[in-house]
Amino acid sequence: MPADTTAINKLMDRFDDHPSVWLFGYGSLIFKADFPFVEKRPALIRNWTRRFWQGSYDHRGTHTAPGRVVTLIREAEAICEGMAYLITPQIFEHLDYREKNGYLRLSTEIIFEDGTNAEGVVYIATAENTAFLGPASELDIARQIAASSGPSGHNKEYLTGLATALRALGKKDAHVFGIEQHLIALDN
C-alpha cells in the first residue's frame, strides 16, 4: 500500500450521502480535534487495541528518523476507549489528508458510555502500509519517541498529550502509560 492513503480513502463513500457520521478517535484525535464537529462523546470500540506501532514520517518524525504514533491492532475481547465526534462527511477531506500516512478509513461499531451505539468511521494503519513499524518493547518505543521530532512537533508531545487526555477521560491504557513511564525515566 502506498505511504499516502488519501486517494484510497476517497473511495470509501459509504457515508457520503449521510447528513452526519460518527468518527472514533483513539490517538491524537482525542486531544487535537482540529476540525468542526456537531457533538463529541466518550466512546469505545471492541476487538481492537491501541499500539504505538505506526511510523510517523509526516507529523512526529521524518523519513530518516520516523516517530511512533498509535494505530489499532485486532485483538479478540479487547476494548479501545477514546472519543467519538459527530461530523459531516465534508470533514473527511481534511481528515483524509491529516491521516494520510498509512491510515485507512474503516467502518466500525462505536459504543457510547450510555450503552447506545452507532455505525461510524475509524482510521487504522494496518501492517500492509509502508510506514508500519510493528511491535517493539515499550522501552525501545520510548527511546524512539524521545529522539523523534517532525513538522507537527516533538514525538514526546504526542505521547504525553494522549496520556493526559486518557487520564482526563478517566481511562487506563497500560501500553500508553508504560511507554510514558519509560520516557519519564529516560528524561531523568
For the stretch 123-154, pLDDT in tens is 999 999 999 999 999 999 999 999 999 999 99
Q: Yes or no: say if 33 and 165 are a contact pair by the CB < 8 Å rule.
A: no
* pLDDT for position 9: 79
* pLDDT for position 1: 59
* pLDDT for position 187: 85
Q: Identify the helix (H) or strand (E) that includes residue 30.
A: helix 28-31
Rounded Cα gap, residues 92 and 70, in angstroms? 20
Rounded Cα gap, residues 179 and 185, in angstroms? 10
Among the listed residues 153, 162, 156, the one whose alpha carbon sits nearest the alpha carbon of residue 183: 156
Please state the length of the chain.
188
| Cell numbers linked to 149 | 521530532
Q: Between helices 174-187 and 155-168, what is the axis angle to 10°?
A: 130
* pLDDT for position 18: 87
Q: Give per-residue pLDDT as tens, 86-133.
A: 999 999 999 999 999 999 999 999 999 999 999 999 999 999 999 999
* pLDDT for position 88: 96
Selected catalytic residue, list 99, 109, 157, 180: 99
Rounded Cα gap, residues 88 and 107, in angstroms? 15
* pLDDT for position 17: 84
Lowest mean pLDDT among 1-5, 78-82, 83-87, 171-175: 1-5
Residue 45 has pLDDT above 70, yes or no: yes
Rounded Cα gap, residues 141 and 136, in angstroms? 6
**Angstrom distances, CA of residue 154 to CA of 40, 145, 151, 157:** 27, 8, 8, 6
List of domains in the chain: 6-187 (3.10.490.10)
Rounded Cα gap, residues 7 and 76, in angstroms? 30
pLDDT-derived band at 46, boundaries 50, 70, 90:
very high
Residue 3 has pLDDT above 80, yes or no: no
Among the listed residues 70, 65, 45, 57, the one whose alpha carbon sits nearest the alpha carbon of residue 158: 70
Rounded Cα gap, residues 50 and 83, in angstroms? 13
- pTM of structure: 0.94
Q: Please indicate whether residue 99 is annotated as part of the active site.
A: yes
Rounded Cα gap, residues 82 and 93, in angstroms? 22
CA 143 to centroid of chain Cα atoms: 20
